[in-house]
Amino acid sequence: MSEKLPILYNKKPCYDIVFTQSFDGLWDELQALGCADKRLCIVTDSKVDELYGAAVLNLLEGKCLKAVKYVFPNGEENKTPDTVAGVYRFLIEEGFDRKDLLVALGGGVVGDLTGFAAATYLRGIDFIQVPTTLLSQADSSIGGKTGVDFDGYKNMVGAFKMPRLVYMNLATLSTLDDRQFFSGFAEIMKHGLIKDCIFYEWLIENMYEICERDLNVLQEMLLRSCNVKKLVVEKDPTEQGDRALLNFGHTIGHAIEKYKNFQLYHGECVALGCVAAAYISWKREMISMEEYYEIRDMFVPFNLPISIYDIDPGEIVKLTKSDKKMEAGKIKFILLKKIGKAVIDRTVTEEEILAAVNEINFSEEDAHE
Ligand code: GLY
């Protein structure tokens, strides 16, 4: 069964998130957006193209003015301005104008890059998100953040550009490998922790079905998780204030991601960052020791790491200072006031960050205990 969650912008309906279990309803949604008279370009990567490229192109061909597909090589290393330039060239060759529309079919790299191409081609054309990974369904396809990496800096160049639609076919989750699936789960857990204690408890109760990828349970999970993100991005679309709450776990998480040269998945780093931030919250007596250990141990059944080997904690602390989320030299750290309520804090010290990194650092000593 399909369900819809409308996202408002300036209190007016802006776009719908459709939760469903096949691509069958995609054309109806596009038709409702007036796409019968438009050129449509599916932008996807080589991995997603093999799985779904032909099927989605088939659905569109013959129904709109023109349906074409642009495929770039899979991998974060291709999330660059050069790949965007390839999209521009293709659109120019295919005669795309301002009224036409891009379809981002894939995970976070595809969604962010296509959104950025849409934000900038001819000063902005429409696009829709068709996210195919749990990470992109739970997080990156919603809220209009688009962009590419630049000179090794993640998401350094970008724009806010709202999609016209987010179409989630949850059946795509069945082709993800376990590591990729659980990586996406970290952002879902984060949504419960920062804003919705009842949802957090629901995740614990439904742990088995989630790990088994029961599609109906995943649909309810995503609906509830996206509802948290909806409430945050509607209130603060361009991150002037509370949208920063979504960065819970990301300050230390991003630092670990960089330190490990992107060998760990984003969600794995976010899980480690959430444990570290919960640890600081406990040490500041904002949450209890029991709550801290419960949060930490909750990541384990979802195959997410709660400790890490082979790191230099001092280097991780240094890297937290180069995070984009700095403001006037101060780190905007997100802490938990309680489970289901996060707060922005600008007073977290280097010593506190170091203690938190030491907490998640699995040392030789731990090994011998
Ligand atoms: N992923 C955080 C945000 O969308 O603001």
Residue located via tokens 């109906």: 216
Give the residue, out of 238, 243, 323, with the most ligand 1 atoms within 8 A of its beta carbon, to mutate for a pocket test: 243
Cα of 93 vs centre of ligand 1, distance in Å, is: 33
Locate the ligand 1 atom nearest the alpha carbon of residue 247 and give its number: 2
Question: Where residue 152 falls among pLDDT bands split at 50, 70, 90?
Answer: confident
Strands 126-131, 101-106: pairing kind: parallel
The pLDDT score that the predictor gives to residue 1 is 87
Q: What is the 3-state secondary structure (H, E, C) of 182-249?
A: HHHHHHHHHHHHHHCHHHHHHHHHCHHHHHCCCHHHHHHHHHHHHHHHHHHHHHCCCCCCHHHHHHCC
Residue type, 362: F
Query: Which residues, judged by CB distance below 6 Å to any ligand atom, belong to the binding site of ligand 1?
Result: 139, 143, 145, 243, 246
Cα of 168 vs centre of ligand 1, distance in Å, is: 18
Locate the ligand 1 atom nearest the alpha carbon of residue 143 and give its number: 4
The pLDDT score that the predictor gives to residue 366 is 64
Give the residue, out of 139, 190, 270, with the most ligand 1 atoms within 8 A of its beta carbon, to mutate for a pocket test: 139
The pLDDT score that the predictor gives to residue 324 is 62
pLDDT in tens, 222-244: 999 999 999 999 999 999 999 99
Euclidean distance between CA atoms 46 and 246, whole angstroms: 30
The pLDDT score that the predictor gives to residue 321 is 86
Percent of the chain at pLDDT above 70?
97
Locate the ligand 1 atom nearest the alpha carbon of residue 244 and give its number: 5
Cα of 63 vs centre of ligand 1, distance in Å, is: 34
Determine which helix (DSSP H) or strand (DSSP E) holds 89, and give its type and residue range.
Answer: helix 81-93
- Cα 162 to chain centroid distance, Å, stands at 15
pLDDT exceeds cutoff 60 at 362: yes
pLDDT in tens, 94-109: 999 999 999 999 999 9
Cα of 185 vs centre of ligand 1, distance in Å, is: 15
Can you tell me the mean pLDDT for 154-180? 97
- Contacts (Cβ under 8 Å, ≥6 apart) of 134: 173, 176, 180, 181, 183, 184, 185, 188
Cα of 364 vs centre of ligand 1, distance in Å, is: 36
Cα of 36 vs centre of ligand 1, distance in Å, is: 32
Can you tell me the mean pLDDT for 246-274? 96
- Contacts (Cβ under 8 Å, ≥6 apart) of 59: 23, 26, 27
pLDDT in tens, 61-96: 999 999 999 999 999 999 999 999 999 999 999 999
Indicate left, alpha or beta for 154 from its phi (over 0: left) and psi (-120 to 50: alpha): beta
The pLDDT score that the predictor gives to residue 46 is 98
Give the residue, out of 141, 229, 269, with the most ligand 1 atoms within 8 A of its beta carbon, to mutate for a pocket test: 229
Euclidean distance between CA atoms 342 and 330, whole angstroms: 18
**Range in 55-64, 107-116, 308-317, 321-330 the model is least confident about:** 321-330
Mean pLDDT of the chain: 96
The pLDDT score that the predictor gives to residue 330 is 80
Q: Which of 78, 243, 237, 69 is nearest to 148 (CA)?
A: 78
pTM of the model: 0.95
Give the residue, by CA position, lying nearest to ligand 1 atom 3: 246
Q: What angle do CA 146, 44, 74 make, to 5 degrees?
A: 90
Cα of 145 vs centre of ligand 1, distance in Å, is: 7
pLDDT exceeds cutoff 90 at 329: no
pLDDT exceeds cutoff 70 at 326: no
Question: Where residue 153 falls among pLDDT bands split at 50, 70, 90?
Answer: confident
Question: Where residue 364 falls among pLDDT bands split at 50, 70, 90?
Answer: low
Can you tell me the mean pLDDT for 298-318? 96
Q: Are 148 and 116 in contact (CB under 8 A)?
A: yes
Residue type, 292: Y
Give the residue, out of 112, 242, 247, with the most ligand 1 atoms within 8 A of its beta carbon, to mutate for a pocket test: 247
Cα of 245 vs centre of ligand 1, distance in Å, is: 9
Can you tell me the mean pLDDT for 345-362? 96
Give the residue, by CA position, lying nearest to ligand 1 atom 2: 246
The pLDDT score that the predictor gives to residue 247 is 97
The pLDDT score that the predictor gives to residue 323 is 64
